[in-house]
Chains A and B, each alone.
Chain A
Amino acid sequence: MGSVNSNAEITLFIMSQTATKEPEVTLELALDHGLTEEEFEMIKDRLGRIPTFTELGVYSVMWSEHCSYKNSIIELKKLPRDGEHLLVGAGEENAGLVDIGEGLGCAFKIESHNHPSAIEPYEGAATGVGGIHRDIFTMGARPVASLNSLRFGSMDNPKVRYLLDGVVRGIGDYGNSFGIPVIGGEVYFDESYEGNPLVNAMSIGLVKEGETVSAISEGIGNPVIIVGASTGRDGIHGATFASEEISEESEAKRPSVQVGDPFTEKLLLEASLEVLKTGAVVGMQDMGAAGIACSTSEMTDKGGQGMKIDLDKVPAREDGMTAYELLLSESQERMLIVAEKGREQEVIDVYEKWDLHGVVIGEVVDTENVTYWKEGEIKADIPAEHLVLGGGAPQYVRETKKPGYLDEVQNFDVYSLDHPSDYADTIKKLLSSPNIASKRWVHEQYDTTVRTNTVTSPGASDSGVIRIKGTNRGLVAKTDCNGRYVYLNPKRGGQIAVIESARNVVCSGGKPMAITNCLNFGNPYKPEVYWTFKEALSGMGEACRALNTPVTGGNVSFYNENPNGAIFPSPIIGMLGLIEDVEKHTTTPAFKNDGDVILYVGADRTGLGGSEYLKTIHELTKGDAPALDIDFEVQLQEALLDAIKSGYVTAAHDISDGGLAITLAEMAIFGKKGASVSLDKLDGSDLEILFSEAQSGVVISIDRDNFNAVSEHFAKAGVPAVQLGAVAGSSLNIEGVGSLDIAEMTTLHESTIPQAMEA
């Protein structure tokens, strides 16, 4: 590995030197580019010569962790990647594509922008949103909804509040201007994310069957066209920067952070969907990490024919940009199109209509190389296959070692603690803890209703629901992962991330279909980190198989560390589900009608390991991850979805952070209706019943007249359903615990974040 601060230095060096003469390529320079000695030897061996300086730049960025997945691809391939509804396989295109019926496909993907957001939160988050939407519309799908998943350190830290403010503004300003509603998401706080926040953004798009486009380059003589914004010096080596740990020197890499322009992206979206209607487009690929280098080599490798690019033709923002800079720039809002020969003007006309560049910069040629020319000279000439993921880019299996802390945390005896006796007071403390508190302050800064499809509003629903115009159907999506669980038990934590996101989707009335994931971990060269990574993935794989929700793609983000060590391992799941009848089946957590019977449906509520209760009350992240029986969970989800589709369920809410107590409190707060419940029919201590985060538990409300039918339904399915009480009054009364006034609970729930942020 190169020295940690090498990229900033090398970039400055390049900017001062390259105008005259390219530097000599040496092992030292290769190391400074983040390549290993072994990798530099591989490059020389495959090329049969020493690479040019420009080639070294291209290799280094294409073989960076961010582009090559070199330390993860072997493990990723073990995840279930097939399913009846998949229209393209995982990793084949820019995003997953699922058949949702009625002649429609849904493209969706989640991606991280952690490192840029750590040092430049506003632009880092904004360009994360821009990048993920481009992945969707480059396939021909129109983005219709977005979600996000954010992790920060403790809110007590002013730097954390600065990051949260910047990230939320960045997501908001980009998405609001681009015009895509945020329909859901999550925000977590834990010290482990101090200095290395996680910013994962997900986009969902719709496309008519047969109107998708592939990221392929083929047809000798076909023109290669760059469209969208011009190319500047921003974001050079962004992908390399994302492939190393954040350190004190990272601040110096602010120039590696791209700058977003949502207006141009909006034009690019409209023009790109319009250009596909011409029929002149052979293939289209967006430019994200590693810019022109990546898009040209990936499209070329896919088509198996070569590409010749004249870099002098690329519209540049600045004079004097070198081949190296033009190839590696990560300037945003650009795409590459291969068009049918003779029809390039049709493509250019559409982009010019939208006041964007459309410039032919090369053509498909009868070789297997990507060849980049500048000022009449070949600056780089590389077989495309060398560069790409799944091709010649390196693939490693890293050393693993079970982390020493695991036995210690898992054997912790929760019962040795001195537990409070006033549970009503505990519920109030949990309601105002930053993780459970309402995130209204966040999501009100996002446009959640544009495009007039949003059925449930973020914050008051287990997952985001949109209707699909022209059909009865709805899409439901959720991002989820409890990093605390994965830290305590990587495999079960991975299982729970998938299972819980599916349960959320079911609670909203949808059938889980497929997932996308964003795997946020520490440095893969640390054996403990890699062990955790492998374990978490195996857990995710098991859960995906059990639920029949294949993995359609996503993104791996390693090197999420700060000077104190790695973040909690955080495999964020983006679950997509389908609601057959969006008018009838969409279900929310809010209590609806006085007199409705409240039922607990699911497994025993035991174990306090990893709970928000332990964290908030005892400041501990200890114990084992919550109990989970995957087979039972599948049974529960199927029975619940059937009950919802039968019209029995007036409200449903998953039990997660904070346990049953918080689930009931939220149903009351959201519905502005009280309830009287008793815990007598549940086994175990009141402490665990109230605050355990054991899996496979849901609270539902039903019309009293349906009580017998519902009881019978769950009995037949082999899923315990226990009557807790009924919806009534203006407070939540829990027998033996006390009475909690809804107005007071609402104030507690709503105040924490605004008070911290507006102080």
Chain B
Amino acid sequence: MMPTFGVIVFPGSNCDHDAYHAMKHVMNAEVRFLWHKDTDLSGIDFLIVPGGFSYGDYLRSGAIARFSPIMQEVIKYAEKGGPVMGICNGFQILLESGLLPGSMMHNQKLRFVCKNVYLRCESTDSLFTNSLDKGQVFDIPVSHGEGNYFIEDDGLKSLHDNDQVLFRYCNEDGELTEEANFNGSVDHIAGICNTGRNVLGMMPHPERAMEGILGSEDGKPIFESILNALSVA
């Protein structure tokens, strides 16, 4: 049976429809929207916390969403090993919720940046990256104002020691150039997982890179990995 994906809808989410479309119409999976005031996650095999500006994000990205009724359930779900993926604002919310370590600052140049960037896969040991090759470079859009990932030295060391860094910003040839790290993230970090390897947060938008007509299909292997992992489980 096809797994069922849940896409959380916060007031201000604006990539919820994109995640829904990607899963439903490109990956042919089952998808349900989950309202932020709801607390029932039964029947959900995989949770997507989508991008956008939850609650307007006027305070600090994700800072309010963390207190929403559904996030209390998401935290429990993740702590029990349920797979969760936060994209862009979703990543910010997962950081604020404590499900992932570190924090997010304004982009280095203090401007919103929307463009296609190159990511390098740093670890294939996760349910999100099992279909990728280590070192594989792929082309994915970013679109954020607060994507400058920060974690202090000890935390960074621990991320690396535990193989939690899944994606880093690089150039077309997979090199970690300064220019490629457009938002100033520590160590070029674009996406990380938790130590339990069931929670992923990433700033780039794989759900926007699913169809050739939109310029890139490089987001698909991530969702293929997820479907692989869920079908084995």
A209 within 8 A of B: no
Contact A455–B213 (Cβ < 8 Å): yes
Provide the bound-state CA to CA distance between A452 and B17, in Å.
9
A172 within 8 A of B: yes
Contact A178–B115 (Cβ < 8 Å): no
Residues of chain B with a CB closer than 8 A to A454's CB: 214
Map CB proximity to A onto B97-114 as digits: 1 under 8 Å, 0 otherwise: 000000000000101111
Contacts A444-B113, A445-B112, A457-B215: A450 and B57 contacting too (C-beta < 8 A)? no
A683 within 8 A of B: no
Map CB proximity to A onto B54-69 as digits: 1 under 8 Å, 0 otherwise: 0111100000000000
Contacts A455-B214, A583-B213: A444 and B115 contacting too (C-beta < 8 A)? yes
B122-130, B152-160, B204-212 - interface stretch: B204-212
Map CB proximity to B onto A110-139 as digits: 1 under 8 Å, 0 otherwise: 000000000000000000000000000000
A59 within 8 A of B: no
A258-266, A337-345, A367-375, A499-507 - interface stretch: A258-266
Task: Closest B residue to A179 by CB, please name it.
Answer: B14
A204 within 8 A of B: no
Task: Closest A residue to B207 by CB, please name it.
Answer: A452
Provide the bound-state CA to CA distance between A583 and B213, in Å.
7
Residues of chain B with a CB closer than 8 A to A179's CB: 14-15, 52-53
Task: Closest B residue to A180 by CB, please name it.
Answer: B14
Contact A172–B112 (Cβ < 8 Å): yes
The one of B12, B15, B56 that contacts A450, using a Cβ cutoff of 8 Å: B15
B121 within 8 A of A: no
Residues of chain B with a CB closer than 8 A to A261's CB: 56
Contact B141–A449 (Cβ < 8 Å): yes
B163 within 8 A of A: no
The one of A354, A446, A449 that contacts B205, using a Cβ cutoff of 8 Å: A449
Residues of chain A with a CB closer than 8 A to B57's CB: 177, 263
Contact B21–A448 (Cβ < 8 Å): no
Contact A450–B213 (Cβ < 8 Å): no
Q: Which of B121-156 contact A (CB under 8 A)?
A: 141, 143, 145
Residues of chain A with a CB closer than 8 A to B215's CB: 455, 457
Residues of chain A with a CB closer than 8 A to B165's CB: none
A467 within 8 A of B: yes
Residues of chain A with a CB closer than 8 A to B115's CB: 444
Provide the bound-state CA to CA distance between A572 and B207, in Å.
35
Task: Closest B residue to A172 by CB, please name it.
Answer: B112
Q: Which of A220-271 contact B (CB under 8 A)?
A: 261-264, 266-267
Map CB proximity to A onto B1-32 as digits: 1 under 8 Å, 0 otherwise: 00000000001101101100110010000000
Contact A176–B112 (Cβ < 8 Å): yes
Provide the bound-state CA to CA distance between A453 and B56, in Å.
23
Map CB proximity to B onto A165-181 as digits: 1 under 8 Å, 0 otherwise: 00001001100111100
Give the shortest distance, in Å, between A508 (CB) and chain B (any CB).
Answer: 14
In this complex, the interface size class of chain A, counting residues with CB under 8 Å from chain B, is 35 or more
Provide the bound-state CA to CA distance between A264 and B114, in Å.
23
Residues of chain A with a CB closer than 8 A to B18's CB: 450-452
Provide the bound-state CA to CA distance between A283 and B56, in Å.
28
The one of A177, A354, A355, A445 that contacts B114, using a Cβ cutoff of 8 Å: A445
Provide the bound-state CA to CA distance between A173 and B214, in Å.
23
Main secondary structure of the interface of B (DSSP, over half): mixed
Provide the bound-state CA to CA distance between A6 and B211, in Å.
57
Residues of chain A with a CB closer than 8 A to B214's CB: 449, 452-455, 467
Residues of chain B with a CB closer than 8 A to A176's CB: 53, 112, 114, 143, 145
Contacts A172-B112, A452-B208, A467-B213: A447 and B21 contacting too (C-beta < 8 A)? no
Provide the bound-state CA to CA distance between A586 and B115, in Å.
20
Residues of chain B with a CB closer than 8 A to A266's CB: 11-12, 14, 53
A277 within 8 A of B: no
Number of interface residues of B (CB under 8 A): 33
Residues of chain B with a CB closer than 8 A to A450's CB: 14-15, 18, 51, 143, 208
A365 within 8 A of B: no
Provide the bound-state CA to CA distance between A579 and B141, in Å.
25
The one of A178, A263, A449, A453 that contacts B55, using a Cβ cutoff of 8 Å: A263
A582 within 8 A of B: yes
Contact A177–B113 (Cβ < 8 Å): no
Give the shortest distance, in Å, between A451 (CB) and chain B (any CB).
Answer: 6
Provide the bound-state CA to CA distance between A450 and B88, in Å.
12
A469 within 8 A of B: yes
Contact A355–B213 (Cβ < 8 Å): no
Task: Closest B residue to A441 by CB, please name it.
Answer: B111
Contact A177–B143 (Cβ < 8 Å): no
Map CB proximity to B onto A427-467 as digits: 1 under 8 Å, 0 otherwise: 00000000000000001111111111111010000000001
Contact B114–A262 (Cβ < 8 Å): no
Residues of chain A with a CB closer than 8 A to B25's CB: 469
Provide the bound-state CA to CA distance between A262 and B113, in Å.
18
The one of A178, A263, A582 that contacts B213, using a Cβ cutoff of 8 Å: A582
Provide the bound-state CA to CA distance between A264 and B56, in Å.
8
Task: Closest B residue to A758 by CB, please name it.
Answer: B109
Provide the bound-state CA to CA distance between A582 and B56, in Å.
34
Task: Closest B residue to A264 by CB, please name it.
Answer: B56
Contact A177–B213 (Cβ < 8 Å): no
Contact A177–B205 (Cβ < 8 Å): no
Contacts A172-B112, A445-B112: A263 and B21 contacting too (C-beta < 8 A)? no
Give the shortest distance, in Å, between A274 (CB) and chain B (any CB).
Answer: 12
Contact B14–A354 (Cβ < 8 Å): no
Provide the bound-state CA to CA distance between A497 and B111, in Å.
33
Task: Closest B residue to A457 by CB, please name it.
Answer: B215
Contact A445–B14 (Cβ < 8 Å): no
Contact B210–A452 (Cβ < 8 Å): yes
Give the shortest distance, in Å, between B95 (CB) and chain A (any CB).
Answer: 19
Task: Closest B residue to A356 by CB, please name it.
Answer: B11
Provide the bound-state CA to CA distance between A267 and B12, in Å.
7
Contact A177–B21 (Cβ < 8 Å): no
Q: Which of B184-233 contact A (CB under 8 A)?
A: 205, 207-208, 210-211, 213-215
Residues of chain B with a CB closer than 8 A to A446's CB: 112, 114
Provide the bound-state CA to CA distance between A457 and B207, in Å.
17
Task: Closest A residue to B19 by CB, please name it.
Answer: A452
Give the shortest distance, in Å, between A403 (CB) and chain B (any CB).
Answer: 41
Contacts A173-B112, A177-B56, A263-B55: A354 and B17 contacting too (C-beta < 8 A)? no
Residues of chain A with a CB closer than 8 A to B52's CB: 177, 179
Contacts A263-B53, A444-B115, A457-B215: A449 and B143 contacting too (C-beta < 8 A)? yes
Contacts A450-B143, A452-B207: A444 and B114 contacting too (C-beta < 8 A)? yes
Residues of chain B with a CB closer than 8 A to A449's CB: 114, 141, 143, 205, 208, 214
Q: Which of A145-193 contact B (CB under 8 A)?
A: 169, 172-173, 176-179
The one of B22, B55, B114 that contacts A452, using a Cβ cutoff of 8 Å: B22
Contacts A176-B143, A445-B114: A263 and B56 contacting too (C-beta < 8 A)? yes
Contact B14–A178 (Cβ < 8 Å): yes
Provide the bound-state CA to CA distance between A758 and B145, in Å.
17
Residues of chain A with a CB closer than 8 A to B22's CB: 452
Give the interface centre of B53, B210, B211 by most chain A CB atoms within 10 Å.
B53
Q: Give A residues with C-beta under 8 Å from B.
A: 169, 172-173, 176-179, 261-264, 266-267, 354-355, 443-455, 457, 467, 469, 582-583, 586, 758
Give 5 new A-B contacts, CB below 8 A, not counting A444-B115, A446-B114: A177-B56, A178-B14, A447-B143, A450-B51, A454-B214
Q: Give B residues with C-beta under 8 Å from A.
A: 11-12, 14-15, 17-18, 21-22, 25, 51-53, 55-58, 109, 111-115, 141, 143, 145, 205, 207-208, 210-211, 213-215
A-B contact pairs, 25 of them (CB 8 A): A172-B112, A173-B112, A176-B53, A176-B145, A177-B57, A178-B14, A262-B53, A262-B56, A264-B56, A266-B14, A267-B11, A445-B113, A446-B114, A447-B112, A449-B208, A449-B214, A450-B18, A451-B17, A451-B18, A452-B21, A452-B22, A452-B210, A452-B214, A455-B213, A455-B214
* 6 nearest A-B pairs in the assembled complex, by CB-CB distance: A179-B14, A263-B56, A177-B53, A452-B18, A447-B143, A449-B141
